[in-house]
Amino acid sequence: MSSFIAITFIAVAVLFILGIKLMGSPKTARLGNLIAAAGMLIALIATLPLLSHGDFPGSHGWTMNYTLMVVGIVIGLVIGAIGAYSVKMTAMPQMVALFNGVGGGAAALVASLEFLKRVSSPEGITAFFAITMLFATLIGSLSFSGSIIAFLKLQGHLEKPRTFPGQNIFNGLILAVILGLCAYLTGWGASTPLFVTMFVLALVFGVAMVMPIGGADMPVVISLLNSFTGLAVAADGFTISNISMIVAGTLVGSSGTLLTLLMCRAMNRPVTNVLFGAFGSTTSGGGAAGTDASGRTVKPIQADEAAILLGYAQQVVIVPGYGMAVAQAQHQVRELSDELGKRGVEVRFAIHPVAGRMPGHMNVLLAEANVPYDQLCEMEAINPTMDRVDVCLVIGANDVVNPAAREDKSSPIYGMPIIEADRAKTVIVMKRSMAAGFAGIENLLFYKDNTRMLFGDAKASLQTLIAQLKAS
Amino acid sequence: MSAEILTFFIFVLSVFLGFELISKVPSMLHTPLMSGTNAIHGIILLGGMLVLANAENFLAVGLGFIAVIFGSANVFGGFMVTDRMLQMFKKKKK
């Protein structure tokens, strides 16, 4: 590698670091993404001279491989562009899962090809390269298959956790076989059939790992798989000695791991519990009735009364949740907030770190509806002011406002930080029915004295509310 | 110091840098950030191009071709979808 290209790759690494850094603030986030993209473009161009050991397009002229390369890049570009621009805002998490999956697949293929090439070469494979190639293949392929399952779960297929007795033992056995194969391939001899077996088992393991996890935990899983893919790419970087792949992959690997831990902390659950707990399988049945087994009742409210409560409030806090995303109601939420704003009501949005299907899911949706981001408050900022709030409007959120997290020691979510909606003077909960939330836990908030339930589709209810406010 | 040790050194520094970079991010930006880092590991496209360029048999060319398609979808789709998310973060027009 000439030193000019080497220096170019250092510049690329700097651009990636700057990009991630700028993505940490709302004002500079878009610029940060563009800077990282610019770094990627430079890296791609700087790679061209490396393709055939120095002279492009190669000493034996333009071969079939180069044609395929251009065709492949164009196909990927078209698929990526169609995916990125056609996806609905609510389906963004699935799209990220898919892009992550194909990245993992590519990482596994690159490592496999290097392995297959070196296994037949006279020099053989050193232990160091065996480890990097096996690691990239294992992690990349499980990230590929795991991401596909995560995508399907978020699309609404396979949403419930799939469990069977002895599942953790079964998964542990697969993993043990995979690790055994890796150890054998490293220490005793590289063999193509064993390598292919390992590849296939890694794919199976990705499926088996994600299958028992409930749809509500998919954000954590996608974040984890994202960091896995980063590490696989870094390992590939070691294998083909490309510094920018090592730096970029490692940055993604470590930042993704931290992001995963932050998400788990927001749910007050250790990451092991998410991955092996099969949480959410403890579903309690929730009917459409207003009474639960112990005879507690909920108090329904009609839209006109709710409109009056909102219109004459001084402070309103809106807590959005996945229900808002499903009903595509973010534009109506913004309209309601504007309408209240015109009447001098102070409106704020309380965003729980894990509301929706990904951290920041609600922010993205509300931003799409042009809600200014300075109106969005984090949980820690809103909770101390909750006592002064006149009306707290909960739109399709459930577990993140469940006071059981504070009051019921036997609840699976006990100890999870929540938005303390129940401390507002009046709580209006918009909900389709009395069905339990995604985690399958009953919500004590619905039975509180200051809680009123506004049943119906969130979008339709909001439209009625807005019409009532405009008429009065 | 040998080249391997030097690369390993870079790897260790990158691990710490990754932790430091993300620890100061507000949760509202977590999804765009996840999506942005997802695009950055699309640099695997380079690896795909390198192995495809040097592929010598039918199997290797086929698998390398798939790797290039995958990597390309990861990198282009990743940056585009992140940009689409981020262009919505703007202040209220007054």
DSSP state letters, A374-442? GGEEEHHHHGGGGGG-SEEEEES--GGG-THHHH-TTSTTTT-----GGGSSEEEEEESSS---TT---
Minimum mean pLDDT among A63-72, A163-172, A223-232: which range?
A163-172
Q: Which of residues 354-373 of A touch B (CB under 8 A)?
A: 358-361, 363-364, 367-368, 370, 372-373
Inter-chain touch B50–A47, beta carbons under 8 Å = yes
Provide the shortest C-alpha distance from residue A247 to chain B (in Å): 6
Structure confidence at residue A267 as a pLDDT band (50, 70, 90): low
Q: pTM for the whole thing?
A: 0.75
B45 lies in some domain: yes
Q: What is the structure's pLDDT at A318?
A: 92
Give dist(CA A452, CA A302) in Å, integer. 9
* A380 contacts: CB under 8 Å, gap ≥ 6: none
Structure confidence at residue A281 as a pLDDT band (50, 70, 90): very low
Inter-chain touch A106–B48, beta carbons under 8 Å = yes
Searching chain B, which residue's CA lies closest to the CA of residue A65? Answer: B53
DSSP state of A298: -
B59 lies in some domain: yes
H or E element that contains B34: helix B30-40
B46 lies in some domain: yes
Q: What single-letter amino acid sits at A361? A: H
Q: What is the structure's pLDDT at A280?
A: 42
* A385 contacts: CB under 8 Å, gap ≥ 6: none
Minimum mean pLDDT among A141-145, A363-367, A463-467, B62-66: which range?
A363-367
Interface test with A, best of B12, B15, B46, B54 (most A CBs within 10 A): B46
Give dist(CA A140, CA A132) in Å, integer. 12
Inter-chain touch A72–B21, beta carbons under 8 Å = no
Structure confidence at residue A319 as a pLDDT band (50, 70, 90): very high
Inter-chain touch A29–B41, beta carbons under 8 Å = no
Q: What is the structure's pLDDT at B92?
A: 43
Residue A292: is its pLDDT beyond 90? Answer: no
Average pLDDT, chain A: 83
B15 lies in some domain: no
B5 lies in some domain: no
Residue A61: is its pLDDT beyond 70? Answer: no
Provide the shortest C-alpha distance from residue B56 to chain A (in Å): 9
- C-beta separation of B11 from A246 below 8 A: yes
pLDDT tens, residue by residue, A172-230: 888 888 898 888 888 777 788 888 888 999 999 999 888 888 777 788 889 999 999 99
B61 lies in some domain: yes
Cβ of residue A83 closer than 8 Å to a chain B Cβ: yes
Share of chain A above pLDDT 70, in %: 89
**For the range A164-172, what are the long-range contacts, defined as Cβ-Cβ under 8 Å and sequence gap of 24 or more?**
A167/A208, A167/A212, A167/A278, A168/A276, A170/A208, A171/A205, A171/A208, A171/A209
Of A26, A50, A372, the CB nearest to B92: A372
Which domains, and CATH codes, for chain A? Answer: 3-276 (no CATH), 303-471 (3.40.50.1220)
Structure confidence at residue A289 as a pLDDT band (50, 70, 90): very low
Q: What is the structure's pLDDT at A200?
A: 93
- C-beta separation of A103 from B41 below 8 A: yes
Total structural domains within chain B: 1
| Beta-bridge partners for A349 | A318, A376
Strand order through the sheet with A376-378: A376-378, A346-351, A315-320, A391-395, A426-431, A451-455
Alpha helices in A155-267 (DSSP H): 167-187, 192-210, 218-239, 243-266
Structural domain containing residue B68:
27-86
Which of helix, strand or coil describes residue A204?
Answer: helix
Q: What is the structure's pLDDT at A52?
A: 67
Q: Which of residues 258-297 of A touch B (CB under 8 A)?
A: 258-259, 262-263, 266
Cα separation values, A113 from A63, A134, A145, A221, Å: 19, 11, 19, 28
Structure confidence at residue A240 as a pLDDT band (50, 70, 90): confident
A330-357 in b/e form (b: 16+ CB < 10 A) is bbbbbbbbebbeeeebebbbbbbbbbbb
pLDDT tens, residue by residue, B41-86: 999 999 999 999 888 888 889 999 999 999 999 999 999 999 988 8
Inter-chain touch B89–A250, beta carbons under 8 Å = no
**Cα dihedral across residues A212, A202, A149, A144: positive or negative:** positive
Q: What is the structure's pLDDT at A295?
A: 55
* Residue A54 zone, left/alpha/beta (φ > 0; ψ -120 to 50; rest): left
Neighbours of B63 (CB within 10 A): 20
Provide the shortest C-alpha distance from residue A123 to chain B (in Å): 17
Bridge pairing between strands A391-395 and A315-320: parallel
Cα separation values, A143 from A99, A103, A226, A339, A461, Å: 11, 9, 8, 46, 41
Q: What is the structure's pLDDT at A120?
A: 77
Which of helix, strand or coil describes residue A451?
Answer: strand
Residue A5: is its pLDDT beyond 90? Answer: no
Q: What is the structure's pLDDT at A278?
A: 53
pLDDT tens, residue by residue, A126-140: 788 888 899 999 999
Look at chain A and count its residues: 472
Give dist(CA A349, CA A288) in Å, integer. 28
Residue A447: is its pLDDT beyond 50? Answer: yes
Q: What single-letter amino acid sits at A59? A: S
B44 lies in some domain: yes
Question: Across residues A292-315, what is the average pLDDT?
Answer: 77
- C-beta separation of A107 from A236 below 8 A: yes
- C-beta separation of A244 from B54 below 8 A: no
Complex confidence, ipTM: 0.92
pLDDT tens, residue by residue, A390-444: 899 998 888 888 888 888 777 777 778 888 888 888 899 888 877 666 566 778 8
Question: Across residues A234-246, what is the average pLDDT?
Answer: 90
**Which residues of A are marked as active site?**
399
pLDDT tens, residue by residue, A42-51: 999 988 887 7
Residue A345: is its pLDDT beyond 70? Answer: yes
B1 lies in some domain: no
